[in-house]
Amino acid sequence: MGKLILIRHGQTDMNKDQMYYGRMDVPINETGRKQAEKARETLINLKIDYDKIYSSNLKRAYETAKIVNYKNLEVETDEKIQEMDFGIFEGLCYEEIVEKYPEEMELLKKDWKTYSYVTGENPFMLQKRAVEFLESIDKSKDNMVVTHWGIICSLLSWLFSSELDSYWKFQIKNGGIAVIDFVDNNYPVLCSFNVGG
């Protein structure tokens, strides 16, 4: 069977400033470019092959995908693998959110799985579209997917636990690579995690 190669985009200035910015379309910074270049070298050195490459259509993922794509295949973009839409929290850091939206933060803390960010979405909605994307690709092939923290962690949680139960148990770094082998009837096996990042 095939492999699923998940790569988190390189760092952005908003990552560095620890801001919520799921749908804001910002480019990677110089550190992010270096992380993407390191990921490319890792893919080559570890002989991680791929048949197709997909990317979120947001700049930070697409720019990373163009760098890591050592085979120069066409990069196919898909909105389903965009980061979480944080709604009214977009563009704010944690301290600003606590100060500006204290009631919303309390609701989020009470039930993070089903909390819908005002004008945004909730983690179940994020996971639903991530899984829809996964089910739309040919898992008999080696598929590289360059995307975001939320998409990667929701997919890993879906594949290796029940729905969102292990969502917070994975810490994929900017430029980090996770490799899943699908064996025996699409049974997922996590072979590598955070290499490159």
pLDDT for res 34: 98
Taking the model in full, what pTM does it have? 0.96
Report pLDDT for 170: 96
Residues with a known catalytic role? 9, 83
AA letter at 192:
S
Task: Please give the pLDDT value at position 196.
Answer: 84
Residue-range definition of the domain harbouring residue 147: 3-195
Domain with residue 156: its CATH number is 3.40.50.1240
Distance CA 60, CA 73 (A): 18
Q: Please, are residues 108 and 115 in contact by the beta-carbon 8 Å criterion?
A: yes
What would the two tokens of residue 19 be? 């801001």
Residues of the chain with pLDDT under 50: none
Domain count, the chain: 1
3-state helix, strand, coil in the chain (%, to 5): 40, 20, 40
Q: How far is the C-alpha of 10 from the C-alpha of 141, rounded, in Å?
A: 25
DSSP structure string for 40-93: HHHHHHTT---SEEEE-SSHHHHHHHHHH-TT-PPEEE-GGGSPP--GGGTTEE
